[in-house]
Amino acid sequence: MSLNKKSRVLALLALCFLPSIVQTQDGGVGDTAAQLRDAGMKSGLAWEIVEGLTTEVGPRLAGTEADHRAVEWTKRKLESLAFDEVWLERIEFPVWVRYHESAKIVAPFPQKLHISALGYSGSTDGEVTADVAGFTSLEALQEAPLDQVDGKIVFINYFTERTRTGAGYGHSVKVRYDAGQLAKEKGAVAVLIRSIGTDSHRFPHTGVTTLSTDPLPAAALSAPDADQLARIMERGDAVRISLFIRVAYRETGYSWNVIAQVNGRETPEKVVLIGAHLDSWDLGTGALDDGAGVAITAAAAHLIGELPQKPRSSIRLVLFGNEEAGLWGAKQYAAANAGILGDHLYASESDFGARAIWRFDTDNPVLMEAAMPVLEMLGIEKGEAASSGGPDIGPLQDRGVRIFRLQQDGSDYFDYHHTADDTLDKIDPEQLRQNVAAWAAVSYLAAELED
């Protein structure tokens, strides 16, 4: 899974022979989509973008100086590509920052634990030391009598199932959201959860909890640490943990949604919105989450922008700000553009890593029929109506914007998600290109084929 040198060389060679797209002026829409697909399979642009963003910026927690550098970097990059317009949309939100986190078992078997504070976690008052109350689910914690939890550090050892679709995460992430609030109601002094992840490496997975005033200190244990703690608790003696979490929280953060558009040739006011999120967690360099999505959708839109004849409607690339701490950019975009959402023909997001796409979902049979002959060569199956267009698309979908989805294989996405290990070496350039090919073809067709 590490970056294969041969692939890199092949990618560079392919770049040298990248033909300009010769659009058949009287050719079919399908021919142009197929040309975009083939250009996508040869394009090194997405790799260049994700390599550049993760190397020259790295981690970019929303509202931090690094995030602002990422906005500047990305705006400059998009301005160098085939967009007609590039603009910023300011967003505001509270900023939560991690300063220190450490944990150790002090009895019966003293040893360190690997933890990461969860987003919006509170700080401990210095070092807090308490006995552990262990549960295997939120429901078990819910049912526990108060005296089993009061004054304790709650540990929830709930497992995340590995699935291609991410359904396992869908089930387990509730633990991350709700454990802190529930444990607090029962008098706990802190909460530790088994990481919401599918790997067995010593990386804790961060991620937000529910935003609240006066939150409980909350952190994730890596899977091996959760296993270790569970084994120690099984031995029956009281287990005592010391925990030290120091975080900062301020109300006055800001960033931007970075937006770029390829204007449509006939109805430019109508847009097909494709996008990703630009911010990342602070631990890794946000290569899979979501540098890859930024790179895929930006490269796809650029290829469409390079066509000699633009599609009927516009392609709007929206790189959302602060997705990670609660879809702040997405909500802002939906609210600020509420008056023109009727002109949003579709919205869709790439925010599930960099593995190959295996299925295309749309409720529009015209789009499906046009797309499938182009996508089949990429190993993409015909799907059904999309249930979601991606997290940042939720607020648009709620307001009635039509969605489509290019589903990636997420089997190993939650091995890296929200960990320090989300780095560039986890991206396979070949699969990244397959994504660009599919996104370019489908986005073009969506903007060309009006109902």
Binding site for a second copy (CB under 8 A): 1-3, 51, 55-59, 66, 108-112, 114, 200-203, 223-224, 227-228, 231-232, 235, 284-285, 419-421, 423-426
Cβ distance to a second copy smaller for residue 203 or 333: 203
CA distance 76 to 85: 12
Cβ distance to a second copy smaller for residue 188 or 420: 420
| Shortest Å distance, C-beta 227 to a second copy | 6
Place of tokens 């120091």: 246
Using alpha carbons, list the distances in angstroms from residue 95 to 10, 92, 123, 174, 252: 42, 9, 14, 22, 7
| Surface-to-core class of residue 152, CB atoms within 10 Å of its CB (0-12 exposed, 13-18 middle, 19+ buried) | buried
Contact present, 194 and 154 (Cβ < 8 Å)? no
Cβ distance to a second copy smaller for residue 53 or 153: 53
Cβ distance to a second copy smaller for residue 257 or 285: 285
| Shortest Å distance, C-beta 103 to a second copy | 13
| Shortest Å distance, C-beta 199 to a second copy | 8
Closest CA to 178 of 203, 142, 226: 142
Coil, helix or strand for 334?
Answer: helix
| Shortest Å distance, C-beta 99 to a second copy | 13
Cβ distance to a second copy smaller for residue 5 or 400: 5
For residue 277, give the amino acid letter: H
| Shortest Å distance, C-beta 76 to a second copy | 14
Using alpha carbons, list the distances in angstroms from residue 442 to 80, 272, 360, 397, 439: 23, 10, 9, 19, 5
For residue 100, give the amino acid letter: H
Cβ distance to a second copy smaller for residue 261 or 419: 419
Cβ distance to a second copy smaller for residue 388 or 431: 431
Using alpha carbons, list the distances in angstroms from residue 178 to 137, 155, 246: 11, 13, 20
Closest CA to 446 of 312, 262, 356: 312
Cβ distance to a second copy smaller for residue 14 or 66: 66
CA distance 55 to 47: 12
| Shortest Å distance, C-beta 226 to a second copy | 10
| Shortest Å distance, C-beta 256 to a second copy | 20
| Surface-to-core class of residue 400, CB atoms within 10 Å of its CB (0-12 exposed, 13-18 middle, 19+ buried) | exposed
| Shortest Å distance, C-beta 268 to a second copy | 37
Cβ distance to a second copy smaller for residue 161 or 450: 161
CA distance 13 to 17: 7
Torsion of CA 434, 263, 322, 169, to 10 degrees: -40
| Shortest Å distance, C-beta 201 to a second copy | 5
